Chains A and B, each alone.
Chain A
Amino acid sequence: MSLVFYAIAGLTLAGALAAVLLKNTVHCALALTVAFAGLALLFLELDAQFAGFAQILVYIGAVAVLVVFAILLTRGSETPKDGVYSRNWLAGLVIAAGVFAVLGWAVLESARALPHETAAPTVTVLQIGNALMSRYVLPLEIVALLLTAALIGAVIVAMHEKEGQK
């Protein structure tokens, strides 16, 4: 655990906390982007180039932009009068802590499941591509199908009812 790790982890946590605590919705979205960037840096620090760049490309380039677009196109970025905190924030906190505990437990257990790994494996983008196109091609296709279905669904929801207009 180097100094770089702590710096990046601090940045990520600060971004995530700001995303929850800030009042202005657009500021929250931008803070969330900082958290995304921190995660990407963490991936890069672990030598996972593909995951890191994909994180930037997908989350900062697409998801964050989509979030701010959604904020601007729907309700406006004004702070609501009755506060920004949801009434059942306690339940949300409990659920989040539960998910975190399960994930943390799984990560810590994974060290016991793979006892013979000593050196960190070096994975190139080429290997990831080969694995995705050969061994994991079925999951990839299923994800693609799911995304296509979501896309068509979104288009149908947004489509004008031409017959109704006439």
Chain B
Amino acid sequence: MIETADQIFVLLKHWLVGLLPAGWQPVAGVVLSVVAIIAVFPTLFALTVWIERKGLGRMQNRIGPNRVGPLGILQPVADAIKSLIKEDIVPLSADAAVHFLAPLVLVAAVFMGFAVLPMGRNMTLVNMDAGLLFYFAMGASTELAVFMAGWSSRNKYSLLGAMRAVAQMISYEVPLLMSSVAVVMMTGSLSLTKIVAAQNHYTWGLPHWYIFTPWGFAGFVMYAIATTAETNRSPFDLPEGESELVAGYHTEYSGFKFALFFLGEYLAMFSISGLGATLFLGGWSAPFSFLTWVPSWIWFFSKLMLSIFVFIWMRGTLPRLRQDQLMNFAWKFVLPLTLLNLLVAALWRFLGEGWERWVVCSAILLLAYVFMGWEGMRRGHLGPRRYRYAE
């Protein structure tokens, strides 16, 4: 019974594929999985938009959407219909072909990332040897789509937004990759399925997730910072800061193309949260050994939605950074710490089992964090703005 609940989607797929003639089965299996991904994540997107609007409303002491359906739950449906029937405006001076292609490239590249995520036991679309590399290759392709959107619109706000977005994504991609490399070093594999399997053990009922090690915790924090910047979420939402740039690189998009950008942004959030859960939070494994009877996919999606909630929470809490703060933070604080974290991960590997490695690794990371923060504040790289007036 437990086994069936855990594998219900796998069994369902096998049953559906089994109805077809043998020659079609491999193709049908892939198509079915792709359709499932394309159906599930946009549904989750609709739900998340509602949660975000309700949650932000709660944090800002207002009600949020409450007109369509009970508690406004059908608001996403209304929004979808509205975006479908709106006029699709292409500016006269825009580069029509590139303007048209940009949202498609973005959404396609983001969807590709889901292919390698293990969403449950035996629930990976493509179990690739180099899964993590594939994920980052697809993530890197979205930068170009953002640039295409901003450049082809022929609008100063779009172009500025795109430049900011691309600069920010390139800067934070380095810490993102570096913090994941520590996980790869410890697992000895780029395959996401193997990374989950390596964390799926229990001692005294507690899991061996990488976040519960000094290097894993530091790596997770830096990964979370980098993902927030990579998905252009607050406090790193400079590329679309509405008080400065109208809407950033998608200013000149309307109707369904705008909806595609919106969708792409949230899908990127889902997939990168899913990857974070896979790398540091044990993927689909349960948080306690007595909870392993709960189906694996429930754990994966719970972890994913938890990170989404933290994203929303941060958006409702933190003010936006300035461009120079953003860059200084990435290159002078996060990147050196991720490099140090690689060294610490290697130390952890070679110090052997025992309590010494906990003390040594934690001490190195804590000292580096305190010292670099202090030094950065003293030299004015981080912290409050220093005004320089003309003499």
Which residues of A are in contact with B by a Cβ distance under 8 Å? 24, 26-27, 30, 33, 49-50, 53-54, 56-57, 60-62, 64-65, 68-69, 72, 77, 124-126
Q: Interface of chain B, helix or strand or loop or mixed? A: helix
Size of the B side of the interface (Cβ < 8 Å), in residues, is 26
Is B98's CB under 8 angstroms from A30's CB? Answer: yes
B124-159 CB contacts (< 8 Å) to partner A: 128-130, 133-134, 136-141, 143-144, 147-148, 151, 159
Please pick, from B138, B147, B188, B189, the residue contacting A68 in the complex, using a CB distance under 8 A.
B147
Is A65's CB under 8 angstroms from B166's CB? Answer: yes
Residues in B whose Cβ lies below 8 Å from that of A68: 144, 147, 151
Of all chain A residues, which has the CB nearest B190?
A: A125
Q: Is B240 an interface residue (CB 8 A)?
A: no
Is A125's CB under 8 angstroms from B141's CB? Answer: no
- Would you give the shortest CB distance from B279 to chain A, in whole angstroms? 17
B161-180 CB contacts (< 8 Å) to partner A: 163, 166, 170, 173
Is A61's CB under 8 angstroms from B147's CB? Answer: no
Of all chain B residues, which has the CB nearest A37?
A: B141
Expressed in whole angstroms, the Cα–Cα distance for A79 and B370 within the complex equals 52
- Would you give the shortest CB distance from B248 to chain A, in whole angstroms? 16
Residues in B whose Cβ lies below 8 Å from that of A50: 130, 133
Residues in B whose Cβ lies below 8 Å from that of A65: 143-144, 147, 166, 170
Expressed in whole angstroms, the Cα–Cα distance for A159 and B144 within the complex equals 27
Residues in B whose Cβ lies below 8 Å from that of A30: 98, 144, 148
Expressed in whole angstroms, the Cα–Cα distance for A30 and B149 within the complex equals 12
Q: Give me 11 other A-B pairs in contact (C-beta within 8 A), A27-B98, A126-B189 excluded.
A: A26-B98, A26-B151, A33-B144, A53-B130, A56-B138, A56-B140, A57-B133, A61-B137, A64-B144, A68-B151, A125-B129
Expressed in whole angstroms, the Cα–Cα distance for A124 and B133 within the complex equals 13
Residues in A whose Cβ lies below 8 Å from that of B144: 30, 33, 60-61, 64-65, 68
Of all chain B residues, which has the CB nearest A128?
A: B130
Please pick, from B133, B139, B148, B151, the residue contacting A125 in the complex, using a CB distance under 8 A.
B133
- Would you give the shortest CB distance from A155 to chain B, in whole angstroms? 11
Residues in A whose Cβ lies below 8 Å from that of B140: 56-57, 60-62
Is B148's CB under 8 angstroms from A60's CB? Answer: no
Is A49's CB under 8 angstroms from B130's CB? Answer: yes
Residues in B whose Cβ lies below 8 Å from that of A72: 151, 159, 163
Most buried by A among B136, B141, B188: B141
B61-94 CB contacts (< 8 Å) to partner A: none
Residues in B whose Cβ lies below 8 Å from that of A53: 130, 133-134, 136-137
Q: 1/0 contact trace for B182-206 toward A, CB 8 Å?
A: 0000001110000000000000000
Q: List 5 A-B contacts (CB under 8 A).
A: A53-B134, A54-B137, A61-B143, A62-B170, A65-B143
Is A49's CB under 8 angstroms from B141's CB? Answer: no
Expressed in whole angstroms, the Cα–Cα distance for A124 and B128 within the complex equals 10
Residues in B whose Cβ lies below 8 Å from that of A69: 163, 166
Of all chain B residues, which has the CB nearest A65?
A: B143
- Would you give the shortest CB distance from A39 to chain B, in whole angstroms? 13
Residues in A whose Cβ lies below 8 Å from that of B133: 49-50, 53-54, 57, 125
Is B141's CB under 8 angstroms from A61's CB? Answer: yes
Expressed in whole angstroms, the Cα–Cα distance for A26 and B151 within the complex equals 9
B186-233 CB contacts (< 8 Å) to partner A: 188-190
Residues in B whose Cβ lies below 8 Å from that of A77: 151
Residues in A whose Cβ lies below 8 Å from that of B134: 49, 53
Q: A54-B133, A69-B166 are in contact. Are A49 and B151 (CB under 8 A)?
A: no
- Would you give the shortest CB distance from B182 to chain A, in whole angstroms? 15
- Would you give the shortest CB distance from B113 to chain A, in whole angstroms? 12
Expressed in whole angstroms, the Cα–Cα distance for A109 and B335 within the complex equals 45
